[in-house]
Structure 1
Amino acid sequence: MRIFHIHGSGVQELTTLPAQMPAQGFVWIACTRPAFQMRLAEIQGRLQALIGLQLVDLHVSDLLNAQLPSHYDYTSQYDLLVFRRLATAQGDVSPTTPPTPAAHAAVAEPDSPNTPVKRSGPPVLRRIDTSPVGFAVFDQLLLTVHPTDCAVRDAYAMRLLAATPANGNSTTTSPSTSHAAHGNTHGSLSMGEGRSSPISGARLPTSPADLMLRVVNQMVDGYLDLRRELTRQLDHWQTELLKPRARFVNWTSLLEARLSLHMLDEICEDQRTAVQDWIDALETWAQPDTPAGLRELDLLKVRSRDVLEHIERVVHHVQRLEQSTETAVQMHFSVQSNRTNDIMRTLTALTAVFLPLNLIAGIFGMNFEFIPLVHKADGFWWAMGSMVFIAVALVLLFWRKRYLARTR
């Protein structure tokens, strides 16, 4: 479990759960699914002490379920978003972010028995396996539940802790906007604090909802990276399929790729529905009274629409890959059919060449005493000459009609 205090002047990683809500900013509690299950009573009690409410039992079950599809739900006090992220054997760190020691340590932690089984086949197909990440969004607190091998938390936490603001000044953090206003207890932080550092070159998350959208956007970027790898893999297979003299043998891998693309399409559709429900819920939030709060709400809507647009890009590309894969398979069988037709045409032409020769040989092989040319000294050569002439004439005729020409 990792706890962060995010405020206008920087980010602080805390060593324990806070006893009181901070006077400024908000708290991010990020834990793995097994840790959330083992410390559920402690987390529920601390939520009750901090914000005066607890998670609903059904939402707790959703956060503990490792097979739940992406969806959105809400109560009058908080919102719940479950979003499926890409899973790999080494975690799901983005290509530009090196894995952290905490991510490697998390891999060794036992996960839920419902953990998805890794797929076989090319390495790119194994990244289709996904696991859900749960977000419980309160007014001043964000609770996230990750799989044990999920490095999204550590990757984004490293970005928060490693940067320095460009102007060196603190930015003003407006209060978190919520569709359900409820009282929060403000007080000093009475807990141990670890490393802290402001973020560089970018605005700090101003609310738990803003932080949730940034983490979700990082997950969607993983799908965009996978899209490029799938495109390269399928382009290679299409090239192999369309080679006329090559024998394509990766039918199992191609079938797995098509099944994985179909599964990815379903996952992205669930993600799009969940984010769309979240956007619809944003429209029902009460309008803030201050310009800063109104701007924050507008930025949340813009960021939400940006995440939705990224998901729609992935869905569009996946559907296009499915269509191109199906087209490549059909073209492969068309090429093979044309190749078979060429072979049969050539064999038919050669058979037609030898049919007159067989007829001449059959006539002179008849068991008659008087046959022309049989008793003559040059009869054999006349028969052979006639057969060669007929064969050459037929070959030239078929070549002129392109019955013996190779189809390019």
Structure 2
Amino acid sequence: MQVYYFYRHPDEDYAFIRKEPSDLYILDYVWVDCVRQDVVGHVESWQEKIQGLIDVQINEFHLQDILNIEHPCSFDTMEDYDFLIFRKLITPDDHLHLDEKNAEPHQSEFGLMTTPVAFTLSPRAIVTVREKGNRAIESYIERLHALMLKPEEEQNKTRKLPSTPLNLALRILNSMIDDYLQLRAPLTKRVEYWQQELLQGHRFFRQWRQLLQESMAFQQVENLCEEQIETLQELRDEIVENYHHLVGEQRTEGLDIMLVRLNDLVSHIERIQKHTARLRNSIQAAIDLHFSAISNQTNENMRILAIITAIFAPLTLLTGIYGMNFEFIPGVKSPQGFWLMLVVMLLCTLFLIIYFYRRHLVGRGEKSVIDMLAQQHHQKGVNLFWFLEIEPIKQTIKSVEKMAKLK
């Protein structure tokens, strides 16, 4: 447990931070930073220490929520304080000391690990409960320690210290949400990997189970972002309705500034949610392209088989005719009949190949899609009864039609 006191000089207008209490300065608020090991197994003694430091008694149900490492993001209000739980993404920079029993609830199906951080906000104090090794909070504490090495009158010059518990909570939340923003790059790489696996085309795709888990993981990230947005919206409503309850009488920062910072946090989470939704849609589009490619390959195979069948169909017809058991068939007893039949069959084959080639059923890869559509339009205009358009035949048909009408 670490305690930090935020003071203001009574005569000169500057703020500073100390780790020891003092009666010579005006106390703005107290930050009590605790790790989970301080609470587990010592709930009653820990509650007494907190009550002695900040004069706030934490509700027993909130104590249970603090001990529950599976608790989702939530926000609750009490008469003396507000209670907020926000789940932080565990990154490689974090060095959490978790055994197998405690690490299992943190693990999600995707492999992303999150851990809850509890905030207890009152007008004059803030209490945080986290896992040991939480880099987002520890890095902020390191900056505070660096400031405490400076003279008191210079601590608030380079970067303003948080003047209220709410301001401090928003800064910690901002550092935690930044970890989610860094999640976009590895998620994009995962989508690119699955797109290559689905669309490479040189072998069958068999990793459907892993792909389904990945798709569910993206959905879980979206659900987590939705929980975080709802929690921050509830906090925003509380700020708008009971701002004095959160900052006390010392209102050194306006309501508008707090709302701007909170809206900025919500916009960051919405960016993560929208990016994850786009990635999930990209995976679905890759799946659709995969099945379209398979369908196209199947159609191509059927086209080749149909062409082969069409080429050999006349040959089968000819061999079937000359295989009939009739006493007299032209050319059966001729010494040149066999060779003539082979020539006819070869000519039929060449004629069909040329015909299919002209119709772009063979060698269609040499034509573009536009050329094939234009060729199809041209073929639609071909008149199979072109010989009826010859003028003498046309006149004869007209005369026959007139005679039919006279009758």
- Tell me which interval the TM-score lies in, with the shorter structure as reference length: 0.7 to 0.9
- Paired position in structure 2 for 1:72: 75
Question: Contact 1:26–1:207 at 8 Å: present in 2 too?
Answer: yes
More displaced, 256-265 or 287-296? 287-296
More displaced, 346-355 or 323-332? 323-332
- Paired position in structure 2 for 1:191: none
After TM superposition, the score normalised by the length of structure 2 is: 0.77
- Where structure 2 has 5 or more consecutive residues not aligned to the other structure, the ranges are 8-13, 369-407
> Residues 72-108 of structure 1: CA distance to partner in whole angstroms, max 9, x if unpaired?
1111211111111223xxxx25xxxxx4xxx53x425
Q: 1:4 to 1:290 in 2, by over 3 A?
A: closer
> Residues 90-141 of structure 1: CA distance to partner in whole angstroms, max 9, x if unpaired?
xx25xxxxx4xxx53x42567648723354xxxxx422x3232111112232
Matching residue within 34, 37, 42 for 1:39: 42
Question: Do residues 283 (structure 1) and 286 (structure 2) align?
Answer: no
- Paired position in structure 2 for 1:130: 114
| Aligned mates of 1:12, 1:27 — CA distance in 2 | 10
3-state SS of paired residue (1:77): coil
Q: 1:290 to 1:46 in 2, by over 3 A?
A: closer
| Aligned mates of 1:20, 1:251 — CA distance in 2 | 66
| Aligned mates of 1:290, 1:116 — CA distance in 2 | 36
- Paired position in structure 2 for 1:60: 63
> Residues 279-335 of structure 1: CA distance to partner in whole angstroms, max 9, x if unpaired?
111112356999982535433222111111111112222222222322221222122
Higher relative contact order (CA 8 A, sep 6+): 1
- Paired position in structure 2 for 1:151: 135
3-state SS of paired residue (2:84): strand
Question: Do residues 82 (structure 1) and 39 (structure 2) align?
Answer: no
Structure with higher Rg: it is 2
More displaced, 255-264 or 366-375? 366-375
3-state SS of paired residue (2:253): helix
3-state SS of paired residue (2:242): coil
> Residues 176-219 of structure 1: CA distance to partner in whole angstroms, max 9, x if unpaired?
xxxxxxxxxxxxxxxxxxxxxx5895322222211211111122
Give the superposition deviation at 1:262: 1.0
- Where structure 1 has 5 or more consecutive residues not aligned to the other structure, the ranges are 94-98, 120-124, 172-197
1:50 aligned partner, one-letter code: L
> Residues 229-262 of structure 1: CA distance to partner in whole angstroms, max 9, x if unpaired?
2122213322442344453333222211110111
1:82 aligned partner, one-letter code: I
Question: Contact 1:131–1:147 at 8 Å: present in 2 too?
Answer: yes
**Greater helix fraction, Structure 1 or Structure 2:** 2
3-state SS of paired residue (2:40): helix
> Residues 28-55 of structure 1: CA distance to partner in whole angstroms, max 9, x if unpaired?
3223324322332232112222232210
- Paired position in structure 2 for 1:270: 227
| Aligned mates of 2:201, 2:99 — CA distance in 1 | 50
Written as runs of structure 1 = structure 2, the 5 A alignment for 1:7-406 is 7=7, 11-12=17-18, 23-87=26-90, 92=91, 99=93, 104=95, 106-108=96-98, 112=102, 115-119=105-109, 125-127=110-112, 129-148=113-132, 150-162=134-146, 170=153, 198=155, 201-286=158-243, 293=251, 295-406=253-364
| Aligned mates of 1:55, 1:28 — CA distance in 2 | 15
| Aligned mates of 2:156, 2:252 — CA distance in 1 | 23
| Aligned mates of 1:21, 1:375 — CA distance in 2 | 130
Q: 1:219 to 1:281 in 2, by over 3 A?
A: same
1:229 aligned partner, one-letter code: P
3-state SS of paired residue (2:223): helix
Question: Contact 1:116–1:130 at 8 Å: present in 2 too?
Answer: yes
How many residue pairs get aligned? The number is 359
1:359 aligned partner, one-letter code: L
2:288 aligned partner, one-letter code: Q
Q: CA RMSD in A?
A: 3.3
| Aligned mates of 1:406, 1:107 — CA distance in 2 | 64
More displaced, 204-213 or 233-242? 233-242
Give the superposition deviation at 1:163: 6.2
| Aligned mates of 1:31, 1:48 — CA distance in 2 | 14
| Aligned mates of 1:84, 1:394 — CA distance in 2 | 70
